[in-house]
Chains A and B, each alone.
Chain A
């Protein structure tokens, strides 16, 4: 392991080696020179790991059923800052929740806009900065948390790639005992054709704090191909309450990998929600680690898969301490030739007694060509636990449909309403009306777009 910054020669060697791989032309010394040395070293290390690690194969248990062919990332280009006219347009299009505490807009990993928090929140010690600023201004706490969690669900190689390339994203720190009443909203835009992006979100919710953040992943051009490789790391200190929502609404031509980690401290409570609408292939790995007694994690996901979209979701509910709870509910609707994969594991570590862990995946198949794969798993190494999991795959209930038809709804409307209701039930568990309404609106938009 090297100890300092990699030499210029080494850098050039890396560049030349991978010249054909545009996105992988090696970290650019000049561009990142604003970053601290330790961070640059981290990026070089990430790059080396990326090169050393093998590409996933379908025979890997972590990639069972996955279309690993889709993982060809050789053609994507490095994210470039967008022209000012386009930036203005994207700012204007970054419409989410009416009332927010703070907002950042990124395009191709460059910060376009930051709507600062109220003076009150700032004075209370809330930090809401792009990570390039946090690296220098809040180096200690940032470094202590940045990509420290092991990636265990298969995407080690892509986590390394992210580490090599990440250059912006959200850093949010909420000090103890502070409640941020209104949600915080972040937009990540992918602009141009064949561009890559490495969105990053790092949230530290201090003791007994409370906050909600929504990440929106959007493409400027709904037909443009692209590649996203994102990481989010959520940390909940004792008694913290965090709601995190990720809206994946990339263009239908995007290959998206997302690695999520939530670390839940004592008596803390996390709700995380993934809404999958866009991308051609989207894989999300989500780990909840319950590291303090009394901690709780609610893991939610809604995926609307149609045409030839593939959504691959892998989860781990890792109960490391006694008296912890987790509850996972993932729902997929599948139309046309869409595929979904769910592989979830509840792991109750030895001595994590009095654990309550639930896991449920429900697939609603709407066409004869759609395919749902479910692998709900349990590994229980403690007793005095209450654990259940369930997986169902079925179609629209004929009686429900008849009931709606008997009220005069057309079959098409009735079916959509049933599917919407099926998925909306998950959204209803977020517990924040404004956020729920926003997600329901996005869901409706996807349905009406599909007519």
Chain B
């Protein structure tokens, strides 16, 4: 029950199949990393899990704690416990970070239940400290004018506040310098625990030095072609992806 199960997932965008029969299980309490060359379908997988309207699921299942989420709207999935950290977080002009997060937290409360503002701000400030974010960020518009690193930190802040059961982090390390990377990794590590399953999507092994995964998967042409422990990441770092590509004939995906 306590796992995110992806079964033989096929998904396409603009008529082109990108995810081509992918299966994976992420148990709560574990961190899985998905690595792969550019164009292998990693980000598509994240978007499909999030329910982005441009992506069409052709077949397969995604069960979150036993519930098929593919029929759910993006917001329903989110409230059910799915969190997606965007590779390119959106800027939302005129809406302050604090108000946005507050609306998101409020959306998770039951009918007629009102958010306790004092408790909310206390928690927000505590999480911001963890991510070394200045309090002035609460008043700024969501992601607007943020640097790449600030945006990614803001994603992790939202994750911390929304307490998901599963988090998909899409290329969270891209565009980060080493200091920002450490802060973001520290944030994620703090949130790790038996209630949370993490799917880390990354192109580089670097992030995995800071967020050490329990499992590493290699995605090529829309499928998981190799799975292993964290040592697989080192092997990829040294040898690249070609050796796996070579072993997987293109037709194998058909």
Contacts and interface: CB of A to CB of B under 8 A. Distances in A.
Give yes or no for direct A-B contact (beta carbon below 8 Å). yes
Contacts of B158: 407
A407 B95 contact: no
Contacts of A425: 93-94, 141
B94 A414 contact: no
Interface stretch (B50-58, B116-124, B127-135, B210-218): B50-58
A418 interface: yes
A408 B104 contact: yes
**Chain B interface, >50% SS class:** mixed
Contacts of A38: none
Nearest to A424: B94
A411 interface: yes
Contact of A402 (B52, B100, B141, B162): B52
Interface string A412-451: 0110011011111100100000000000000000000000
A403 B158 CA distance: 12
A149 interface: no
A423 B90 CA distance: 18
Contacts of A422: 93-94
B166 interface: no
Contacts, number: 81
A70 interface: no
A411 B51 CA distance: 13
Interface in B81-115: 83-84, 86, 89-90, 92-95, 99-100, 103-104, 107-108
Contacts of A398: 53
A123 interface: no
A402 B74 contact: yes
B84 A418 contact: no
A293 B211 CA distance: 60
Interface residues of A, number: 25
Contacts of A428: 94
Interface residues of B, number: 29
Given A405-B78, A407-B78, A411-B73, A400 B90 contact: yes
Given A398-B53, A403-B90, A413-B103, A408 B79 contact: yes
Contacts of A417: 92, 95, 99-100, 103
**Chain A interface, >50% SS class:** helix
B103 A403 contact: no
A7 interface: no
A434 B109 CA distance: 30
Contacts of A89: none
A88 to B, nearest CB: 33
B237 interface: no
Contacts of B78: 405-409
A300 to B, nearest CB: 13
A421 B94 contact: yes
B95 A418 contact: yes
B146 to A, nearest CB: 14
Q: Which 10 A-B pairs have the closest CB atoms?
A: A421-B94, A421-B95, A408-B78, A425-B94, A405-B74, A424-B94, A403-B90, A405-B75, A408-B79, A407-B104
26 contacts: A398-B53, A400-B92, A402-B52, A402-B53, A403-B86, A403-B92, A404-B75, A405-B74, A405-B78, A406-B50, A406-B51, A406-B75, A406-B77, A406-B83, A407-B78, A407-B100, A407-B104, A408-B79, A409-B78, A410-B107, A417-B95, A417-B100, A417-B103, A421-B93, A424-B95, A425-B94
Given A404-B75, A408-B75, 4 more contacts: A399-B90, A402-B50, A409-B75, A425-B93
Interface of A: 397-400, 402-411, 413-414, 417-418, 420-425, 428
